[in-house]
A and B are shown apart, each in its own frame.
Chain A
Amino acid sequence: MPVISYREALNQAMREEMERDADVFIMGEEVGHYNGAYKVTQGLLQRFSERRVVDAPIAEMGFAGIGVGAAMVGLRPIIEFMTFNFSLVAIDQIVNNAAKIYQMSGGQFNVPIVFRGPGGPAVQVGSQHSQSLETYYAHVPGLKVVMPSTAYDAKGLLKTSIRDDNPVVFIEGETLYNTTWDVPDATDGDHLIPIGLADVKRDGKDVTLIAWSKMVWTCLEAAKALAEEGIECEVVDPRTLRPLDVDTLAESVRKTGRCVIVEVGWPVAGYGAEVAYQMQKHCMDSLDAPIERVTSDDVPMPYAKNLEDEVQPQVKDVVAAVHRVLYLTE
C-alpha cells in the first residue's frame, strides 16, 4: 500500500466517489479555483468542472442549506467548511434541518450529505479558529459524527460517509493533514470503513486509552513512553463519535480494568464524559480505578505558543493520568 498524507487520502476519497457517482458534488469556500484553503480539494475542479466543484461565497448558512435541499431531492453533496469554526453560523441548517428532515417527514425524505472540514485546535490562530466542536454535533440524533485520526481511516471513512444515506459531520484534524499512513489506492479496490466501528491503534494489557483525532497521536506517543516504564497501554480510537462503538471500547476496558479518556475539547459536558458514562455502565465489575479524563483547560484558546501548548493535553498529562489509574504516585 502506498504511504500518503491525510490530505491526499481525503482527496482520493472524494475523487473516487465523484468518479463513481454523478450525483456527488462538492461545494464550499475556495474549494475550486483556489484548490481548497487546506488543499484538500486540489485538482478536483480541473477533473470535474465547475458544475460539480462549486466555489461558494462566504455564506455558510446559505450553502449548507443549499446542500440540504439538494440532498432532499436526491443529490449527494459534500459541503466543505473552511474550518468547523465557521459551521457555527450554519448550525441551524445542520441541527434543525439536516438532522431532522428524515424524522419530520416521517421517513419520506432522507438527507445524504457530508459536512466536512478541519476542526480541533490549530496552531496559534487564536480562540475563534482553534476549538473542538464535535460535542455540539455528537449531541444531535439524526447526525453521524466521524473524526478520523489517520490517513487510512480518513479515506475509508470519507468514502463511506459520502455513500451514507444520512447527514454525516466529518471533522478532519486540522493539524493532521501532513501526517502519513499506508492507504489503499483505487487499484486495491474500494477502501471502505464502516461508520460506527472503533479501531485498536495499539495493543496493551494494563490501561485503555480512548482518544480520537489528534489525541490518538498524543496517546500513541504517551503509550510509547509508558512502555519504557513497563506499562502497556491499549490505544482505542472510536473513529466515529455517533454512533459510538461501545462494544469495542468496553471490551478493551474490561480487559485492562483501567481507562483514561483523552480529548482536546473542553472538559464541561465534553464528549469524553459520555464515553466515561458508557464505560462505567458496561465495565463496572471490571474497573480497578475510577475512569480518568484528560481534556484541554476550560478556557478559550490563547494565542502565545507556550500558553497554547499548556492548555491542551500533552504527552506528560496522559502519562500522569495513566499513573493515577495505576495508583502510582508521581
Chain B
Amino acid sequence: MSTPETKRIEPEDSSISETTVEELRPLYRQMLAIRRMEEASAKAYSQGKIGGFLHLIIGQEAVCVGAVAALEPKDYVVATYREHGHAYAKGVTSRAILAELHGKKTGCVKGLGGSMHIFDKKTNFLGGYGIVGGHVPIAAGAAFASKYRGDGAVTLCFFGEGASTIGGFAEGLALAGLWKLPVVFICENNQYSMGTPLYRSLAVEDVSMRALAHGMARDRFDGDDVIKVKRRIAEAVERARATGEPTLVEVVTYRFRGHSMSDPGLYRTKDEVEEWKRRDPLNRSRARLTELGMNEDELTTLEDDVKAEIEDAVKFAEESPPADAYLPYVVKE
C-alpha cells in the first residue's frame, strides 16, 4: 500500500496567530468540548446506545470552531453528516446533540435525524446533510435569500474534499459565482474521501483551484491553528458581507479516526496518523494559552468544566425519554 507524503501546504507562520487569552480561551474550550463530546459518542456507540452511522470530527476541530468564530449570530451554517462540531460551535448545546444521537425526544430534532441530521433554527444552523454535495446548493440558496432581502447575513458551507467531484458542488459554486451570493464554501480537506486518498480521487489535488472556474476568490491553508482559521475565514466572510462575493476556502486537516465508527482506517499508516496527531490543534492551542500566560490551574479548571458539561450531557441523553412522535413532522399543516 502506498500513501502520499504527509506535508504542510505552507510554512509555519506564527505571526498570523497573534492573539490573546480572551480570544483563544473560548475557542480552546469549544474544541475541547467537541473532542470530549465525540469521545463520549464513540463510547456510547460501542455500548450500543447510539446506532446507525457515526462520523467523528476528532482532529479537525480547529476548522469548524475557527470558522464559526468569524460569524455573527444572524449568519447561517450548512454542514455535512460530520457536523456535531459545527453545530456545537454555532451554539447548539451538547445536551441537545447527545440526546439526538441517543434517539431521544429531547434531541435537537426530536430523535428524527440522529448523528447526520442536526438542525437548529434558533442558532441558524441549517442542518447536517447525508448526501455528499447535495447541501452545497442549499447553502447557496440561503445566501440567495440574504441577497434577495439585503439582510447582510453570510452563509458558511462546509464539506469534505470528497464532495468536490460531485455535481451538487459544481452547480452550487457555479450559481454562487454567477450571482455573487454571500457564501463562503469551506472545503475541509482531511485527505481521505472515506478510504480513498487524494491522489486516487482528484486530478488536481488543490480543491481551491475550482474557484477560478467560477470567478470567485480562493484561499488555502493548514487548519491546525484555530486562530489562523478564524482570521482567514473572517477575510472571506468580510468579503461576502461587504461585496456579496463568494469565496472557496480549502483548509487542510486530518481526522484522527476512521471515516465512521465501522472504519478502522487501515488505508493509512500508523506513522502518518502519528505525524498528524503531533499537530493536534487542541495541544497547539493549549500550549499557546500557556505561552500567553494562562496558568495550569486555570487550564485545569476550564478542562474540568468541559468534563462536567459533557458528563451532564451524557446523563441528560441517557435519562431523557425516548423519541415518541414522527407523524406530525411529515407535512406542515
Contact = CB atoms under 8 A, between A and B. Distances in A.
**B partners with A:** yes
A68 B127 contact: no
Nearest to B126: A72
A66 B148 contact: no
B140 interface: yes
Contacts of A74: 145
A62 B140 contact: yes
A108 B119 contact: yes
A88 interface: no
Interface in A77-119: 89, 92-93, 96-97, 101-110
A25 interface: yes
A59 B330 contact: no
Interface in B137-166: 137-146, 148-149
Contact of B141 (A68, A103, A106, A108): A68
Contact of A69 (B107, B121, B126, B170): B126
26 contacts: A51-B148, A57-B175, A59-B171, A64-B137, A65-B137, A65-B138, A65-B140, A66-B140, A66-B144, A69-B139, A69-B141, A69-B143, A69-B144, A73-B76, A73-B142, A92-B168, A93-B134, A97-B134, A103-B330, A105-B113, A107-B328, A108-B109, A108-B120, A109-B126, A109-B127, A166-B332
Given A51-B148, A74-B145, A141-B330, A69 B113 contact: no
Given A106-B111, A144-B331, 12 more contacts: A61-B167, A63-B137, A64-B137, A65-B135, A69-B78, A69-B145, A70-B144, A104-B119, A105-B119, A106-B109, A107-B328, A165-B332
A287 interface: no
Contacts of B136: 65
B142 A70 contact: yes
B117 interface: yes
B172 interface: yes
B110 interface: yes
Interface in B4-25: none
A261 B138 CA distance: 39
Contacts of B119: 101, 104-106, 108-109
Interface of A: 25, 51, 54, 56-57, 59, 61-75, 89, 92-93, 96-97, 101-110, 141-142, 144, 165-166
A104 B113 contact: yes
B112 interface: yes
Given A72-B142, A105-B109, A108-B121, A66 B175 contact: yes
Contacts of A64: 137
Interface residues of B, number: 48
Contacts of B330: 102-103, 141-142
A166 B331 contact: yes
Contact of B134 (A57, A59, A96, A110): A96
Interface in B283-333: 326, 328-332
B202 interface: no
Interface of B: 76, 78, 107-113, 117, 119-121, 126-127, 129-131, 134-146, 148-149, 167-168, 170-172, 174-175, 178-179, 326, 328-332
Given A75-B148, A105-B119, A166-B331, A68 B112 contact: no
B251 to A, nearest CB: 22
B328 A75 contact: no
A97 B133 CA distance: 12
B174 A97 contact: no
A62 B172 CA distance: 5
Contacts of B145: 69-70, 73-75
B118 to A, nearest CB: 9
Contacts of B130: 96
A165 B331 CA distance: 8
A66 B141 contact: yes
Contacts of A66: 137-138, 140-141, 144, 172, 175
Given A69-B126, A101-B127, A107 B140 contact: no
Given A69-B139, A108-B121, A59 B175 contact: yes
Given A106-B119, A166-B332, A93 B142 contact: no
A204 to B, nearest CB: 33
Contact of A102 (B139, B170, B331): B331
A24 to B, nearest CB: 11
A61 B329 contact: no
A65 B145 CA distance: 12
B137 A68 contact: yes
A65 B134 CA distance: 8
B76 to A, nearest CB: 7
Given A61-B168, A71-B141, A97-B134, A105 B148 contact: no
Contact of B329 (A51, A67, A102): A102
Contacts of A110: 332
B175 A62 contact: yes
B148 A69 contact: no
Contacts of A144: 331
Given A102-B330, A105-B121, A68 B138 contact: yes
The 9 closest A-B pairs by CB, nearest first: A69-B141, A65-B137, A62-B171, A106-B109, A105-B119, A69-B138, A66-B141, A106-B110, A108-B121
A70 B171 contact: no
A120 B129 CA distance: 32
Which of the listed residues B117, B131, B134, B144 has the most CB atoms from chain A within 10 Å of its own CB? B144
Contacts of B168: 61-62, 65, 92
A127 to B, nearest CB: 23
A62 B167 CA distance: 8
Nearest to A71: B141
A166 B331 CA distance: 7
A106 B329 CA distance: 6
Given A62-B174, A105-B121, A109-B126, A72 B134 contact: no
